[in-house]
A and B are shown apart, each in its own frame.
Chain A
Amino acid sequence: MKIIIDEGEQYDQTEVIIHCKKCDEEVLLLLSKLKLQEQKIIGMQGEVAIVIEPKEIFYFESVDKKTFIYTQSQVYESPLKLYEIERLLKIYGFFRATKSTIVNINKIQSIKPKYNSVLLLEMENGEKLTVSRQYAPILKQRLGGNDYE
């Protein structure tokens, strides 16, 4: 893929034009990644609403019918339900780890399989999360690799 960046004072806003023979999977992936830049999540900290970029989020957790957003060191409350978040951020590297958590794959440091078929995730901030046996195959599939096909 050829990438041309035309920088100039005459441009008021950033514009992306894709020239392609066919709108294939590669182009669609590129589009979804561009859209990721636009996707924002609102997190509440008390009365204050904060705009959070998905790439800053480590995971979402639902506790007592409330949804919490965990970043590197902050916790926010989200007005969204887990199933809404799952649908919204699925294509951006988020996956359902348990019935009450959605994890950002890009923030996982390492994965350790346990003897009871659950996966232990060590996040980049040192937190440890688990992927239940029910959802472990989904993560393996998301990570791809011919080893699971």
Chain B
Amino acid sequence: MSKFIHNIAQWKFMISLYFMASMIISSIVLFFLGMRSFDFLTIWQILITCMVAGATHYIYFTHWSNPVKISVHVVVLYALILIASQLFGWWKLVSMNVFFKYTGIFLLAYSLISIGFWVYYNNEEKVLNKNLNEFKSKEL
């Protein structure tokens, strides 16, 4: 039971992360497309997509190697965005050109977010270990 509660808490956390990132990215993209507001319905559509996206993040908690995790996650997440986009009518897959354009945008956004996370966690690790060593030397 506690494992289940723990997983739900993790999922909730991932949903909030995905939702925050989605709102920021879509706000920036829509701003450049000349839109200044979100529909109430769109927000809920984004939230539903983020709930599924949050579940896909469990791929990162598997024991697979990092390249496999990233590859599987990229494909699954893109498939989810593609399905959600067609379902909610965010953009229409009318030609291969459109497909490649959105795939390119997705890969660029995914890479930028991943690099951002990598830089953040790498820095966090250095700071934590520096503080740990200082703490231990003080205790001695």
Interface size on B, residues (CB 8 A): 21
Q: Is the CB of B128 within 8 A of A143?
A: yes
Q: How far is the CB of B115 from chain A (nearest CB, A)?
A: 14
Across-interface contacts of B125 in A (CB, < 8 A): 111-113
Chain A residue with minimal CB distance to B10? A116
Interface hits, B114-140 → A, CB 8 Å: 117, 121, 124-125, 127-132, 134-136, 139
Interface size on A, residues (CB 8 A): 20
The answer to whether the Cβ of B32 comes within 8 Å of any Cβ in the partner chain is no
Q: How far is the CB of B85 from chain A (nearest CB, A)?
A: 25
Q: Is the CB of B128 within 8 A of A105?
A: no
* Chain A residues with a Cβ under 8 A of chain B: 93, 105-106, 108, 110-117, 119, 133, 140, 142-145, 147
Mind listing 15 A-B residue pairs with CB under 8 Å? A105-B132, A105-B136, A106-B136, A110-B129, A110-B132, A112-B125, A113-B124, A115-B121, A116-B14, A116-B57, A116-B61, A133-B9, A142-B135, A145-B131, A147-B131
